[in-house]
């Protein structure tokens, strides 16, 4: 008989489906109709139709106890995904729906190559649906049926991959609870992916138990689940044991006519040795399976990592023809595991060495010879921030530091394009797929990773994914005692060289990652500093200053720490958190010190250029420094962006657009960069074009403050006063409101705001001057310009282009001030 839920074939002697547990009925006894409220909206789910106004149905993939699954095209992202339409009887209870939402929120955190990504729970009319990653292939159950049982090598390979997925999920506190071959997909590349994390727990509840709705599948349930007790990671290990058993024997350990009879056997009977059904199973593998199937949780393996390690060890004893060896591909992922006594000062030592090897490998793999790739070709790789999987979640700074180190190192390799940190980090904490990220950043491959620190272990996992199909292509693991940490770099490099037939000759021995310090404590403090600097805001930037200064105390020749300190002070000055006369000299001092140590440091040259024209008003030297910074590091997006803004202030708009477009190419989804590329448009009077572009930025993030500010100014100077006023009111921008009121003739209200702002300790003299010139009180305007000159106000750099000064631009007094700030000869 065919199961009405999952369409599996079952012997006519069975009362319940062997795959999903649904009660079976002969055709003559099957119901001919269902209550209307329980019907699935089939008319909306035909091929070619659109569901929920967004998902175009491509085909139905199957039916399970939870509902029907469809392959759909998400018309918003133009990506093929899977959509599971939840059965009405499952989703009819509000508490169940809330459990689904909570469990999927947790399950979405599981980001690992052997786990199918869960996206979201949605609702269309009376129907709930779940969206998830689409995997082209077949489920493991189908593969077992097709082959009549897998070879030992294939079963061990799939078992290891399932362990990897479980290990990642369990580290996040996520337990599957319904692991079975139907929930493991095997994609076209032979990779295993676990499906439906979180769903089994979501459907737990008396309100939905009834005919055809099973909580778990009896043939794969652990004894504690049969008893109704809470499942933990060891329950998944029990189910994994059954999957291994079935892969090798084409049968499950316990069968019966009813779910109850199967459950009783799970609790009371010992499984037969799988070797009885397949004498090719090695003794060690048989013992491994039976250990997974121990009735008492404490007697089983206690973690998926333990199972994987034993699978890997016994795999080494298999004949070479039985082993499943990953095929060589153009890209790869690496996993490093090291034992050591936990010490936050020691951790960066291994990180540095692991990164050196990882970057070396990526460089070799992504720099093919001329026969493989034309000299004019370019490989594009995005490096995402690594995820912190440590129990205390207190190593995020280290995760970010790893990614930044990789970005900085790889961006200097000819023929390899790396999107800037700002763009890559914009995906941090979000759930986009590799395909979505790749399209956004215009890259072919994406590097992801995780860092886990617990007890005496540090695990760093990194993998490269192909954007076209989302596959992770190459994998290998290393497990070393800490005493061997100093030999790890050579060990890994030579293993990779042997596998890829690479000879270490000539320039292939060159050092790729320059860390600028040999002191691990200084390195850790430096990564903490940039972690806070990237967060922005007064308190975070001041914390960054503290960490950079502490790093310098540890290593007085740490050039990058001086660069971080310089950038911090530039931010403090630009945002008027610290007066310009205090912030910029400190930034200059730190940048110069960095250049004394490393005179070709592009980042230091860029910061110094910003100080030179913003504070010293030495525009000529600033331009030379910008050009040198770009020449030394052509793919440094910050230098192109800052040089573009500099050129805008000099009214060299065509040159400015060229530099800003280059910055956008290198930093494609940075909201700041996308917003600032409108400067040449706005200041050359092309307001409509600037407005259109800024609205596009705000579609990406409606609350992005800088874009709102630029848009309000474009509205104002384009004569769209109502729009400008509304946006300034929304933002609470008092300067913007004062200008709007003044332009509308509400002078007293405008002056009230300006007087209130004038009483503040830190003001922007340029903005006060602009206001008074706008209302015709020029003496007050010049007074504030002189105040700005005395305080070295960074806003005076806009005198040549700011529209508010158009009415006095030809006056001698104004030209004199322009000369003082280097904008007039």
Domain ranges within the chain, ordered by starting residue: 36-133, 138-322, 334-509, 737-825
Record the tokens describing residue 481, joined without a space: 């005692």
Tell me the DSSP string of 80-96: EEEEEEE-HHHHTSHHH
CA–CA separation, 290 and 610 (whole Å): 67
Is residue 408 scored above 70 in pLDDT? Answer: no
Which CATH code fits 36-133? 3.30.200.20
Is residue 693 scored above 50 in pLDDT? Answer: yes
pLDDT digits (tens, 9 = 90+) for 325-380: 543 333 333 333 333 344 444 445 454 445 544 544 444 444 444 333 333 345 67
Mean pLDDT of 81-99: 76
Q: What is the DSSP letter of 366?
A: T
CA–CA separation, 62 and 7 (whole Å): 8
CA–CA separation, 471 and 547 (whole Å): 39
pLDDT digits (tens, 9 = 90+) for 751-775: 999 998 888 755 789 999 999 999 9
pLDDT for 149:
87
274: exposed, middle or buried (Cβ count in 10 Å: 0-12, 13-18, 19+) = buried
Mean pLDDT of 5-31: 56
CA atoms within 13 A on the CB side of 200: 25
Q: What is the DSSP letter of 335?
A: E
626: exposed, middle or buried (Cβ count in 10 Å: 0-12, 13-18, 19+) = buried
Record the tokens describing residue 474, joined without a space: 């190459």
pLDDT digits (tens, 9 = 90+) for 382-396: 778 777 766 666 667
Mean pLDDT of 610-633: 93
* Of 116-125, 152-161, 330-339, 679-688, the least confident: 330-339
Closest to 601 (Cα-Cα) out of 627, 625, 629: 629
For residue 13, what are the CA distances in angstroms to 10, 16, 532, 782? 8, 9, 66, 97
CA–CA separation, 604 and 655 (whole Å): 23
CA–CA separation, 564 and 528 (whole Å): 11
CA–CA separation, 96 and 108 (whole Å): 18
Which is higher by pLDDT, 648 or 433? Answer: 648
Residue 163's pLDDT band (cuts 50, 70, 90): very high
Mean pLDDT of 157-186: 90
Gyration radius (Cα) of the chain, Å = 32
Q: Is residue 22 a contact partner of residue 3, using CB atoms and an 8 Å limit?
A: yes
CA–CA separation, 798 and 796 (whole Å): 5
CA–CA separation, 438 and 467 (whole Å): 6
Sheet strands (E) in 371-419: 379-383, 387-388, 416-417
For residue 282, what are the CA distances in angstroms to 241, 311, 322? 15, 11, 12
302: exposed, middle or buried (Cβ count in 10 Å: 0-12, 13-18, 19+) = middle
Which stretch of DSSP H or E encloses residue 592?
helix 580-597
Record the tokens describing residue 470, joined without a space: 């989302």
pLDDT for 611:
94
Q: Is there a shared CATH topology between the 36-133 domain and the 334-509 domain?
A: no
Record the tokens describing residue 211, joined without a space: 């005919």
Q: Is residue 464 a contact partner of residue 445, using CB atoms and an 8 Å limit?
A: yes
Bridge partners (DSSP) of residue 51 are: 55
pLDDT for 92:
67
In three-state secondary structure terms, 679 is helix
Sheet holding 127-133, edge to edge: 50-51, 55-63, 67-74, 79-86, 127-133, 118-124
Q: Is residue 463 a contact partner of residue 451, using CB atoms and an 8 Å limit?
A: no
The segment with the largest mean pLDDT, out of 168-172, 433-437, 454-458, 620-624, is 620-624
Mean pLDDT of 119-139: 85
Q: What residues have CB less than 8 Å from 258, skipping those under 6 apart?
A: 15, 16
The three-point CA angle 26-144-12 to 5° equals 15
Record the tokens describing residue 639, joined without a space: 């230098």
Which CATH code fits 334-509? 3.40.50
Which is higher by pLDDT, 327 or 578? Answer: 578
393: exposed, middle or buried (Cβ count in 10 Å: 0-12, 13-18, 19+) = exposed
Sheet strands (E) in 282-414: 334-339, 379-383, 387-388
- Please provide residue 447's backbone torsions phi and psi, each rounded to the nearest 5 degrees: -100, 125
The terminus-to-terminus CA distance of the chain in angstroms comes to 93
Let me know how long the chain is.
825
Q: Is residue 92 a contact partner of residue 101, using CB atoms and an 8 Å limit?
A: no
Q: Is residue 281 a contact partner of residue 152, using CB atoms and an 8 Å limit?
A: yes
In three-state secondary structure terms, 173 is coil
The single residue listed with the structure tokens 């001092």 is 589
The single residue listed with the structure tokens 């009483």 is 759
* Of 8-22, 184-198, 661-675, 789-803, the least confident: 8-22
Record the tokens describing residue 533, joined without a space: 């600097």
Residue 44's pLDDT band (cuts 50, 70, 90): low
Record the tokens describing residue 303, joined without a space: 């973690």
Which is higher by pLDDT, 269 or 172? Answer: 269
Closest to 418 (Cα-Cα) out of 407, 428, 434, 409: 407
pLDDT for 323:
61
Residue 87's pLDDT band (cuts 50, 70, 90): confident
Record the tokens describing residue 357, joined without a space: 């090897």
Mean pLDDT of 27-53: 56
* Of 150-154, 198-202, 519-523, 576-580, the least confident: 198-202
Residue 43's pLDDT band (cuts 50, 70, 90): very low
Alpha helices in 51-151 (DSSP H): 88-91, 94-107, 140-147
pLDDT for 293:
96
Which CATH code fits 138-322? 1.10.510.10
Bridge partners (DSSP) of residue 459 are: 337, 452
Average pLDDT, the chain: 78
Q: Is residue 568 a contact partner of residue 558, using CB atoms and an 8 Å limit?
A: no
The segment with the largest mean pLDDT, out of 92-96, 204-208, 372-376, is 92-96
Residue 535's pLDDT band (cuts 50, 70, 90): confident
């Amino acid at each position: 008989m065919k199961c009405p839920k999952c369409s599996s074939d079952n012997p006519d002697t069975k009362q319940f489906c062997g795959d999903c547990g649904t009660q079976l009925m002969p055709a003559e006894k099957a119901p001919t109709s269902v209550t209307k409220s329980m019907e699935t909206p089939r008319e909306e789910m035909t091929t070619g139709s659109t569901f929920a106004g967004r998902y175009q149905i491509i085909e139905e993939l199957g039916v399970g106890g939870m509902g029907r699954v469809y392959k759909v095209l998400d018309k918003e992202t133009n990506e093929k995904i899977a959509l599971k339409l939840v059965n009405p009887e499952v989703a009819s209870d509000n508490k169940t729906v809330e459990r689904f939402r909570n469990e999927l929120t947790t399950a979405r955190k599981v980001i690992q190559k052997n786990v199918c990504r869960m996206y979201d729970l949605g609702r269309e009319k009376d129907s709930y649906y779940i969206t998830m990653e689409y995997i082209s292939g077949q489920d493991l159950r189908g593969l077992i049926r097709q082959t009549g049982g897998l070879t030992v090598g294939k079963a061990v390979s799939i078992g290891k991959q399932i362990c990897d997925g479980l290990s990642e999920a369990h580290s996040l506190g996520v337990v599957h609870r319904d692991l079975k071959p139907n929930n493991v997909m095997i994609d076209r590349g032979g990779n295993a992916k676990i499906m439906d994390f979180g769903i089994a727990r979501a459907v737990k509840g008396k309100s939905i138990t009834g005919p055809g709705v099973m909580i778990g599948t009896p043939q794969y349930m652990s004894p504690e689940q049969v008893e109704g007790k809470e499942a933990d990671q060891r329950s998944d290990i029990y189910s994994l044991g059954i999957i291994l058993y079935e892969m090798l024997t084409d049968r499950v350990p316990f069968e019966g006519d009813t779910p109850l009879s199967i459950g009783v056997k799970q609790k009371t009977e010992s499984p037969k040795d799988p070797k009885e059904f397949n004498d090719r199973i090695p003794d060690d593998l048989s013992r491994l399976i039976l250990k997974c199937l121990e009735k008492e949780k404490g007697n089983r393996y206690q973690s998926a990592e333990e199972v994987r390690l034993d699978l890997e060890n016994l795999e080494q004893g298999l004949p070479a023809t039985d082993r499943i060896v990953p095929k060589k591909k153009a890209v790869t992922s690496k996993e490093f595991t090291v034992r050591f006594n936990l010490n936050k000062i020691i951790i960066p030592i291994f990180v540095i060495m692991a990164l050196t090897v990882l970057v070396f490998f990526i460089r070799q793999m992504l720099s093919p010879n001329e026969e493989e790739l034309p000299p004019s070709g370019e490989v594009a790789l995005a490096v995402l921030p690594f995820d912190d999987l440590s129990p205390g979640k207190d190593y995020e700074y280290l995760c970010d530091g790893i990614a930044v180190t990789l970005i900085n190192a790889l961006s200097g390799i000819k023929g390899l394009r790396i999107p800037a940190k700002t763009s890559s980090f914009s995906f941090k904490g979000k759930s986009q797929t590799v395909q979505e990220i790749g399209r956004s950043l215009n890259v072919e491959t994406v590097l992801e990773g995780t860092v886990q620190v617990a007890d005496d272990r540090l695990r760093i996992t990194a993998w490269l994914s192909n954007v076209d199909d989302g596959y992770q292509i190459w994998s290998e693991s290393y497990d070393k005692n800490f005493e061997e940490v100093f030999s790890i770099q050579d060990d890994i490099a030579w293993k990779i060289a042997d596998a890829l037939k690479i000879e270490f000759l000539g320039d292939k021995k060159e050092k790729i990652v320059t860390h600028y310090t040999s002191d691990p404590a200084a390195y850790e403090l430096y990564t903490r500093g940039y972690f806070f600097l990237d967060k922005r805001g007064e308190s975070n930037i001041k914390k960054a200053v503290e960490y950079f200064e502490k790093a310098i105390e540890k290593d007085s020749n740490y050039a990058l720490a001086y660069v971080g300190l310089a950038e911090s002070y530039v931010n403090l000055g630009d945002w008027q958190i610290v007066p310009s006369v205090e912030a910029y000299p400190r930034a200059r001092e730190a940048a110069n010190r960095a250049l004394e140590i490393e005179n070709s440091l592009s980042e230091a040259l860029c910061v110094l250029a910003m100080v030179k024209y913003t504070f010293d008003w030495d525009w000529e030297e600033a331009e030379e420094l910008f050009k040198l910074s770009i020449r030394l590091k052509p793919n440094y997006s910050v230098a192109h962006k800052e040089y573009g803004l500099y050129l805008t202030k000099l009214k060299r708009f065509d040159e400015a657009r060229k530099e800003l477009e280059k910055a956008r190419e290198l930093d494609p989804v940075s909201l700041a960069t996308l917003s600032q590329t409108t400067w040449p448009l706005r200041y050359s009077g092309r307001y409509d074009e600037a407005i259109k572009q800024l609205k596009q930025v705000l579609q990406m993030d409606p609350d992005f403050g800088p874009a709102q500010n630029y848009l309000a100014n474009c509205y104002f100077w384009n004569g769209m006063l109502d729009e400008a006023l509304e946006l300034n009111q929304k933002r609470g921008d008092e300067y913007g409101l004062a200008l709007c009121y003044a332009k509308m003739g509400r002078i007293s209200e405008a002056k009230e705001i300006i007087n209130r702002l004038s009483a503040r300790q830190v003001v922007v003299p340029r903005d006060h001057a602009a206001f008074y010139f706008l209302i015709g009180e020029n003496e007050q305007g010049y007074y504030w310009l002189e105040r700005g000159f005395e305080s070295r106000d960074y806003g005076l750099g806009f005198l040549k282009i700011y529209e508010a000064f158009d009415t006095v631009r030809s006056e001698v007094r104004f030209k004199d001030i322009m000369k003082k700030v280097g904008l007039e000869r």
